[in-house]
Amino acid sequence: MQQKKVDRKRFVRYKEGAEMYSMCQSKFEDMARDAGAIYKLNKLVLVNCDIFEEYLETFRIKD
């Protein structure tokens, strides 16, 4: 069975991203920085969710 791709934002702000991934904002900021997923436009900071999720997958525990 094929899964439908859920409509979601490609870029999010820190607060929204932390809520999306169920983590505190400071942890999300640190991980986004480590992933190289941050885009800064003057004072606006956005996180690319595609890059962030690729980075997040590197922490997957495979039994």
At 14-62, the pLDDT tens digits run 999 999 999 999 999 999 999 999 999 999 999 999 999 999 999 999 8
Is the per-residue pLDDT at 1 higher than 60?
no
CB neighbours of 8 closer than 8 A, spacing ≥ 6?
A: 49
The closest of 60, 53, 9, 10 to 28, measured between CA atoms, is 53
Question: Could you tell me the sign of the dihedral formed by the alpha carbons of 45, 24, 30, 21, in that order?
Answer: negative
Whether the predicted model's global pTM rises above the 0.75 cut: yes
Q: Which pLDDT band, with edges at 50, 70 and 90, does 63 fall under?
A: confident
CB neighbours of 42 closer than 8 A, spacing ≥ 6?
A: none
